[in-house]
Chains A and B, each alone.
Chain A
């Protein structure tokens, strides 16, 4: 090890320990299923022994001693003096958590090194090794309550001599970027050959050979970022085990197809959602053994994850054989949220559970049922350009299906032109394309609609919706869906369909809901990839168009006044800007008392208020408005970061007419709520 400084040594240890601890966790879960497998016991022992030795070499005595204590326990098992019991596995898993905590607390694992978090865990007291009691101390961050992203997704198992090496992800991303630059330079050379030397690059063997090599290089580079689904299943297995034990349930974890590979970025986006679905299944889906016996089911329940590739997509299903989604609870919750359920199929009713704020949990627990969850799952899956659906049968079980592209880097797209600019539309969001037919267009609620499969779809000019000026196109119509809504867009022309290498926009650019990313074209130009859900939202909140016999309407009603109450200047001004742009007259107040004072001078048509403010909070302000005869009829909209059902209920009890959670807040949701309360616009 000569030549390696202590910092470098510890950094290497942290990288090695990350891999070994992942493997240790996997082995322990396997050992619980096969307690008599001596080879497994020996493997666990080897991992701990190696960790102990490596930690000592790196000068991390604390880590070494924890590993030593665990090693002694496993040595007893190896010698036959202790049996492998669930309690023993509990002890070892918690010990492994403590080990990981101690490793991640080393300065080498921290960034920046001077961070306050870079504290080495205190040395265990009481002798040379950690005692059983020490090992049973709770881990600072129990892994069961959090989704663990596949940070070590590229980490191979430490099966020595396998020829695998650890490579920082940044290097792979840099490699991908360089390949992109090289490809772009190649295309520029082709154009130069044509423009300056009048040579058709297609007739140049060297140029074509380089193109083939670059294509292969591109494919190989993309493959370096692919990881198997199994990189996240160990954490899920651990969650199933710990949660089911904590809740007295007997659950078997099954997986299939976990060698299916997909882009690391996609899997990273899904890992939290998968964890949520698995925890949800144990917490709400799976019954206790007694309940299952009474229902005529085997006492042991099953939660199953199955992954498979289908074309350019990967389908991951999470299935349980529990009680299924409670249809009555769904109906009740839908009524509470004002969602119409008449005419919905069973699957459509089950899909309501993805609605923001929807919770069918009877009791609020620290596991799930907080009204935030499945909508977040849908958001994350859609963030990976995927979709999620659910099927459930009462008494039989529930299946969630997550369908995502193998890589977000390459998307099959429909290319269109609108407003004089080319755009790509992700193909999995395209319902249909059809030629323009004036006889097929009519009006509903002030908006043009086209008939598609005997259903009227609202239709907008794509160029108008994205702000390229008012356009009138008699070009074809493209039907898009965001999973729950369908909308049609008229474009100038259809260009074709092909795979598009999509890149995220710079973090410097504000989030643009209607834009998914961009791609560099063969000619060096840039193609924008639009995001259909954002596009549909934007279209739905755009002004209604003029039409013969119609009247001019705007989403906001000029002259209507709104009082915005928030102690945060930036929030007040942002809300003011949004509302003024659509024609409202806006006043602002910094707290409830100021608001009351302003209302005493001049009433308003609507109050939009935060909850937590000095002097008088939003609840008190709402109650004060309701109790004042001259103000009692003013609608109140609460916009708060508090998302609990209790806060919503308290707001409604105080007399609020609407409640928006800031985490789910955007311009359109504010305008929708305001227009609904004032009876203006759309």
Chain B
């Protein structure tokens, strides 16, 4: 069985792995415009060849802190449109090694060895879910299906 290909995202002192088929491209130093009134996980909006793409703070989505100055944005092709995941270092393509066990953070699915390092595999669907993006900064209850 061949090893899973992933894009490794440096976020602070951590390393996260994005399944390669989710990554569309990497943008260096994205110039984001602040999206006022948005939750803290939304760093802003950036222009990707005419398309307006939201840039998310990967650390905030994971609940591990914040990225002050995003060095790169990994453009993710989600079911509802493009999204940028901010990183604090250059993303690199790697094969995931052995699984080293489950992960704790929401939006992740397990830990893998990358040489002497450990990368936590991201679950982009869970990571970019409305609940993770909004946190408790919720703007409406309509449509939640509850009475």
Decide if A and B are genuine partners.
Answer: yes
Which residues of A approach B to under 8 Å, CB–CB?
177, 180-185, 421, 466-468, 503, 505-515, 518, 520, 524-528, 538, 566-568, 570-571, 573-574, 576-578, 581, 610-613, 639-642, 662-667
What are 9 inter-chain pairs, A to B, with CB distance below 8 A? A421-B34, A505-B45, A511-B140, A526-B33, A568-B146, A573-B136, A574-B138, A581-B136, A662-B142
Min C-beta distance of B55 to chain A, whole Å? 10
CA distance A527 to B45 in the complex (A): 9
Known interface pairs A181-B51, A503-B52, A566-B146; A510-B139 also in contact (CB < 8 Å): yes
- When distances are taken between beta carbons in the complex, the residues of chain B under 8 Å from A663 are 142
Besides A512-B139, A518-B45, 6 other A-B contacts (C-beta < 8 A): A181-B51, A185-B50, A468-B36, A508-B54, A525-B33, A526-B46
Pick the contact of A515 from B35, B49, B56, B134 — CB < 8 Å?
A: B35
Contact indicator B140/A666 (Cβ below 8 Å): yes
Q: What chain A residues lie within 8 Å of B115 (beta carbons)?
A: none
Interchain CB contact under 8 A, B140 and A184 = no
Which residues from chain A contact B62 at a C-beta distance below 8 Å? none
Q: Are B146 and A509 in contact (CB under 8 A)?
A: no
Most interface-central of A505, A510, A526 (chain B CB within 10 A): A510
* B142→A525 contact, CB < 8 A: no
Please give the distance in Å from A582's CB to the nearest CB on chain B.
13
B6 on interface, CB distance cutoff 8 Å: no
**A610 & B147 in contact (Cβ 8 Å cutoff):** yes
Q: Mark B51-86, 1 if CB is under 8 A from A, else 0.
A: 111101000000000000000000000101111000
**B82: A residues at CB distance < 8 A:** 506
Partner of B138, one of A506, A524, A566, A667: A667
B140 close to A515 (CB less than 8 A): no
Residue from B35, B54, B83 within 8 A of A528 (CB atoms):
B35
**CB-based contact A506/B139 at 8 Å:** no
CB neighbours (8 Å) of B131 from chain A are 570
**Does A183 lie within 8 Å of B36, measured CB to CB?**
no
Q: How far is the CB of B41 from chain A (nearest CB, A)?
A: 10
B83 CB contacts on chain A under 8 angstroms = 506, 508
Residues of B within 8 A of A510 (CB): 38-39, 130, 133-134, 137-139
A571 to chain B, nearest CB (A): 5
Chain B residues contacting A183 (CB-CB under 8 Å) are 50
Q: Which residues of B contact A642 (CB under 8 A)?
A: 147
Nearest 4 pairs of A and B residues by beta carbon: A577-B136, A612-B147, A181-B50, A568-B146
Min C-beta distance of A573 to chain B, whole Å: 7
Residues of A within 8 A of B53 (CB): 506
**How far is A183 from B51 in the complex, measured between Cα atoms in Å?**
11
| Complex contact A574–B37 (CB within 8 A) | no
Q: Are A511 and B136 in contact, with the CB atoms below 8 A?
A: no
Task: Answer whether A665 and B37 are a contact pair too, CB < 8 Å, given A183-B50, A507-B80, A611-B147.
Answer: no
Q: In the complex, which residues of chain A have a beta carbon less than 8 angstroms from the beta carbon of B136?
A: 573-574, 576-578, 581
Contacts of A184 in B (CB 8 A): 47, 49-50
Q: Tell me, in angstroms, the Cα distance from A664 to B140 when the chains sit together.
A: 8
B122 within 8 A of A: no
Quick one: closest B residue to A510, CB to CB? B134
Query: A526 to B45, Cβ gap below 8 A?
Result: yes
Among B47, B140, B142, B147: residue with most chain A CB under 10 A:
B147
A577 to B80: give the CA distance in the assembly, Å.
27
Taking the nearest CB of chain B, how far is it from the CB of A191, in angstroms? Answer: 13
In the bound complex, residues from chain B placing their C-beta under 8 Å from that of A574 are: 136, 138, 141
Asked if B42 is at the interface of the complex by the 8 Å CB criterion, the answer is yes
Task: Give B30 Cβ to nearest chain A Cβ, in Å.
Answer: 11
Contact (Cβ within 8 A) B81 A525: no
Report B116-135 residues with CB < 8 Å from chain A CB: 128, 130-131, 133-134
Residues of A near B137 (CB, < 8 A) are 510, 577
Closest to A642 in B: B147
Determine if B142 and A508 form an interchain contact, defined as CB atoms under 8 angstroms apart.
no
User: Is B54 touching A506 in the complex (CB atoms < 8 A)?
Assistant: yes
CB-based contact A665/B138 at 8 Å: no
Residue of B nearest to A185 (CB): B49
Q: Select from chain B the residue with minimum beta-carbon distance to A662.
A: B141
Q: Which of B34, B36, B131 has the most CB of A within 10 A?
A: B36
**Of B31, B128, B140, which one neighbours A525 at CB under 8 angstroms?**
B31
> Does A509 contact B50, Cβ atoms closer than 8 Å?
no
Contacts of B34 in A (CB 8 A): 421, 468
Q: Is the CB of A571 within 8 A of B144?
A: yes
Taking the nearest CB of chain B, how far is it from the CB of A179, in angstroms?
9
Nearest Cβ on chain A to B81's Cβ, whole angstroms: 5
Contact of B50 among A177, A568, A577, A578 (CB under 8 A): A177
Given the complex of chains A and B, what is the CA–CA distance between A184 and B34 in angstroms?
20
Q: What's the nearest-Cβ distance from chain A to residue B147, in Å?
A: 4
The distance in angstroms between the C-alpha atoms of A613 and B56, with both chains bound, is 37
CA distance A520 to B50 in the complex (A): 7
Closest to B143 in A: A663
Q: Smallest CB–CB gap between B27 and chain A, Å?
A: 13
Please give the distance in Å from B143's CB to the nearest CB on chain A: 8
Chain B residues closer than 8 Å to A182, beta-carbon distance? 50
Q: Is the CB of B33 within 8 A of A506?
A: no
A525 to B30, CA, bound (A): 11
Question: What residues of chain A lie closer than 8 Å to B38, measured between beta carbons?
Answer: 509-510, 512, 515
From A185, A421, A665, B141 is in contact (CB under 8 Å) with A665
CB nearest to A511 among chain B residues:
B139
- Say yes or no: B80 contacts A506, CB within 8 Å: yes
Q: Tell me whether B146 and A641 are in contact (CB under 8 A).
A: yes
Closest-by-CB residue of A relative to B32 is: A526
**What CA separation (Å) do A44 and B39 show in the bound complex?**
57
Contact A509 B133 (CB under 8 A): yes
CA A94 to CA B51, docked complex, whole Å: 46
- Measured CB to CB, the nearest residue on chain A to B56 is A508
Are B139's CB and A513's CB within 8 A? yes
Please name the residue on chain B nearest to A665 by beta carbon. Answer: B141
Which residues of A sit under 8 angstroms from B128, Cβ to Cβ?
A: 508
A62 → B minimal CB distance (Å): 35
* In the complex with contacts A577-B136, A666-B139, A570-B144 CB distance below 8 A: yes
List the A side residues contacting B138 at CB < 8 Å: 510, 574, 577-578, 667
Q: How far is the CB of A433 from chain B (nearest CB, A)?
A: 21
Min CB distance, B12 to chain A, in Å?
23
Residues of A within 8 A of B78 (CB): 508
